[in-house]
Structure 1
Amino acid sequence: MKDIYVGRQAIYDRSLEVYAYELLFRQGNQDGSNVNQLTNGDFASSEVLLNCFVEIGLERIVGPHRAFINLTRNLLLDHPQLAFDKERVVMEILEDIPVDEPLVTRVRELAEQGYTIALDDYAFEEKWDPLLPHAHIIKVEIPALTPEQLQAGLPKLRQHKLLLLAEKIETEEEFQQCLELGFDLFQGYHFSRPKVVEDKRLEENQMVIMQLVSRLNDPQVEIRDLEHLIAQDASLSYKILRFINSAAVGMPRRVESIHQAVVFMGLTRIRAWASLLVLSRVANKPQDYFTTALVRAHMCQRLLSKSGSNCSAEMGFSVGLLSILDLLMERPLAEIIGELGLSDELNTALLDHAGPAGRALVCTLNYESGNIQPDDRFELDLGELTEIFLNASKTAFAEAQALGEA
């Protein structure tokens, strides 16, 4: 694996289902420590991006979803053939590329060949007009425009029967406004940051969910009591058995009971899976949250396996999985953890990032945000971390799909 960081940001449809991911490729410097440096806009860097994309494979980065890829002018005009899957890749034309006759001709050719074209950071400027007949998706930068500008400019775009993507959405108010304006797709930090409100009261269904998660993770609970607790919830039992028997898990033989599930998966893992399935009942949350939880779980687990630490890799799995609670419940993580009665090891790993599992979580979160530091890496180089992330991602997409079917 080359010394490269691969990031992604989800793009959602109106139902908050993942439509695609925008891919963010960044190169480190020679010691691999500076992963925030964007690849250069020249042809050579475009080749690096393209080669890494081809080497990595779509299924490990975006699973079954589409991928938005930023293309430089040189790559658009000079590359003899783009090795992209036309059905799954959206070619994104950046706002700083000059729009002239050679570019318009090339974009028209690519559209005629069946490629999906997106225009980035659209701000209703006339320079984009020659590309509108050949584009399929327009990314409108919401913070850069007033509501009046949006109201005045959108009718022109609708004449071209384009998908409208509202990008850089920061708040729930902006999201609701864009829904009312008829946008089709949505992207921004609003969907990936905890939306904490002071004195926010849990809805009734959330209280029931948190009580069940708390009981599942009680460190004093006996295995027999845990089996009984799961078995009492018919829906949870069904989902666990269906999931564990899916191709994503790959069990050697069919599991017929919750007792067998606990034996095969282990107490720590069955608690984590049951908790995730219970939390999936939280309404109006993007499915990508659960994919993110699974990526974190598998990456933490793999990091601990490689580190030779005395800390159980299964502990890493649980820490990664439960780290998504603040996003799901829209409350501070410390407040949620305080109500769950988790083991001291889980508590300190989640809240204080202490111990090997806490270090694994820090490494995972920093890689996820593109801010990985040398001290966070478990003495792994950036290429090894990227490989761990991609393998965790591939597994997570398969499991998320199985969970969705359960």
Structure 2
Amino acid sequence: MTINAVEDPHQPGGAAGQAAAVQDEVYVARQPLLDREGMLCGFELKVRSPAVPEPDPANFTDSENDVAAFAQSVKDAQAARVQVAKRVIQAAAHPDAGSALAGHMAYVDASREMLFDETLRRLPPSRFMLELPPDLVADDMLVSRVIALHGKRYRFVLDDVTQPDDTFAKLLPYADAVKIDFGNTQPALLPKLAKVLKAAGKILIAKGLDTPAAFQTAHDLGFDRFQGYFFARPQAQGMRRAGAPRHALLNLLQLLASDPTVAQLEAELKLNPVLVMHLMRLANSSGLGLGHKVTSLREAINATGTNRIARWTQLLLYADGRKVSLEDDPLLQLAATRARFMELAIERLPEAGRDEADAAFLTGVFSFVDAVFGEPLDSTLDMLMLTRPIRAAILRREGALGALLSAIDALEHGAWSDLDAASAQLVALTPGDVASLALVAAAWAGVADSSAEAAGLERIED
């Protein structure tokens, strides 16, 4: 989902000239937050919006005309910031962004202009946490506004904290949570901050956790929420308990790749009762809409179809062995979103057909497979016997599949310049297109067993 950017007030030609000069887009990415059990508990909505440059006094003289021109430039810049704030609120409140949250809480950066804009009411307090950046000027007017919004049940997070300062001290009483930039905070300060803030009853969020070791440190210090992609690293598999045995899933995937008969599938599935249980649940899910209960394995295979069984098996590799619903499982959500994004995005490229869509789905779903097996990615891909273009895309980001994988990876991390570079290789997809498709894919991945359209995924539990 993209939204046209705010008009540039410095462009000549009045409103019409300003509108014609608009080039930038406002669009949204999401980054997961996990709880102490390693399950999803929210998403930060990262909104890319156009920057509004501040007027430079050095460009103006002391003449009466230039003084007036500088004053007008300051006024125009403020008006532009207000319009950007409105666009950011509009993007965060868009139904596509809401669907991508899969019922979880949203965290969104709030500028000064957003806090004072009445369209903020489009972000319901029950669904949104407002993150206050460290460069916010906590003057009396802003503190009063925060107090007023707090009285309306809006909740605040002090964001990117590395060192307590005057702004931190003034806003802390009205914050429900404090997000600490883990990588940029002095290690010796972390235990002190954690102890004081926990004693004050604040929710502690550790930001920038990209390794299991960093997560473990934050966990040991008593942090409550964890933001980063540590859970998608090979060393993180110890956090998760395997569902169906991995070797059984690999054997089934290899069989499915050979266009098996129903009898062959039935024989392979019978070797593992856990897989039989999962398939029976899949066949009886509301998504298939059969209208009757499936009672035999053969009927379940026929009702589900080999293509759907294959995708279910691929995603089942990522399922946590605990009784965790799909929408709460971070690694499965990430893999499913990537896979669906790749499938949707490849259809926008020239000469893409069914085979290319299947290859794109496989590229996305197996791009995290080293996190499951804890082995080097190339050797794990060898076990799966994937085609050369898929392997090249995952290992070296080659070809159109590799460019799409680079694009979704950049979006996940909010690396906007990397997203621009990846999109430039794709021609048919702008960065805004990538963001829009990613939200659609996230909504698809977040569907448990409530979709009657059978394009979604089913709840996976032992």
TM range (shorter): 0.7 to 0.9
Q: What's the TM-score, normalizing by structure 2?
A: 0.73
Q: For residue 452 of structure 2, what is the aligned residue in structure 1?
A: none
- Aligned pair partner of 2:253 in 217, 228, 232: 217
2:374 maps to which of 322, 330, 334:
330
Deviations 1:208-266 (A, max 9, x none): 9442232122234623323322233222222233234334x343545724444544554
Where in structure 2 are there 5+ consecutive unaligned residues? 4-24, 52-78, 450-456
CA distance in 2, matches of 1:13, 1:390: 22
User: Normalising by the residue count of structure 1, what TM-score does the alignment of the two structures yield?
Assistant: 0.82
Amino acid at match of 2:270: A
Q: For 2:334 and 2:307, how far apart are their aligned partners in 1?
A: 19
Aligned to 1:175: 215
The answer (yes or no) to whether the contact 1:63–1:397 under 8 Å persists in 2 is yes
Q: Separation in 1 of the partners of 2:206 and 2:226?
A: 5
Give the letter for the 1:374 counterpart: S
Pairwise mapping of residues 235-250 of structure 1 onto structure 2 (< 5 A)? 235-247=274-286, 249-250=287-288
Q: Shift of the alpha carbon at 1:377? A: 3.4
- Candidates 277, 290, 295, aligned match of 2:332: 290
Q: Compared with structure 1, are the counterparts of its residues 225 and 343 closer, same or farther at alpha carbon in structure 2 (3 Å cutoff)?
A: farther
User: Which aligned pairs between 1:296-375 and structure 2 lie closer than 5 A?
Assistant: 296-307=338-349, 308-312=351-355, 313-342=357-386, 346-348=390-392, 350-351=394-395, 360-369=404-413, 370=415, 371-372=418-419, 373-375=422-424
Q: Which residue does 2:47 correspond to in 1?
A: 25
- When residues 108 and 171 of structure 1 are mapped into structure 2, their CA distance, relative to the original with a 3 A threshold, is same
Task: Identify the structure with bigger relative contact order (alpha carbons < 8 Å, sequence gap 6+).
Answer: 1
Per-residue deviation, 1:164: 1.0
Cα deviations by residue, 1:84-135 (Å, 9 ceiling, x for unpaired): 1211100111110011211211111111211111111222234322322211
Quick one: distance in 1 between partners of 2:81 and 2:382? 51
Query: Does the CA-based 8 Å contact 2:45-2:92 persist in structure 1?
Result: no
Amino acid at match of 2:32: A
Moved more, 233-242 or 251-260: 251-260
Q: How far apart, in 2, do the equivalents of 1:232 and 1:384 lie? A: 44
Q: Which amino acid aligns with 1:176?
A: Q
- Evaluate the alpha carbon distance shift between residue 385 and residue 115 of structure 1 in structure 2; reply closer, same or farther with a 3 A threshold: same
**CA 1:141–1:5: 2 relative to 1, 3 Å:** same
Name the CA distance, whole Å, in 2 between partners of 1:128 and 1:107. Answer: 13
Do residues 164 (structure 1) and 204 (structure 2) align? Answer: yes
Measured in 2, the distance between the counterparts of 1:344 and 1:222 equals: 22
Deviation of 1:166 after TM superposition, in Å, equals: 1.5
The answer to whether 1:45 aligns with 2:84 is yes
Give 1:62 deviation, angstroms. 1.2
Deviation at 1:289, TM superposition (A): 1.0
Q: CA deviation at 1:375?
A: 4.1
**CA distance, structure 2, for counterparts of residue 148 and residue 190 of structure 1:** 22
Does structure 2 retain, via aligned residues, the 8 Å contact 1:104–1:131?
A: yes
**1:398 is the counterpart of 2:440:** no
- Amino acid of the structure 2 residue aligned with 1:309: A
CA contact (8 A) 1:13 1:184 kept: yes
Residue 332 of structure 1, CA deviation: 2.7
CA contact (8 A) 1:172 1:190 kept: yes
Deviates more, 1:286-295 or 1:206-215: 206-215
Classify 1:264/1:301 alpha carbon distance in 2 versus 1 (closer, same or farther; 3 Å): farther
Q: Which runs of 5+ in 1 are unaligned?
A: 30-39
Residue aligning to 2:152: 113
Kept in 2: contact 1:195–1:330 (CA 8 A): yes
Q: Which residue of 1 aligns with 2:426?
A: 377
**Displacement of 1:196:** 5.7
Over the aligned positions, Cα root-mean-square deviation in angstroms equals: 3.5
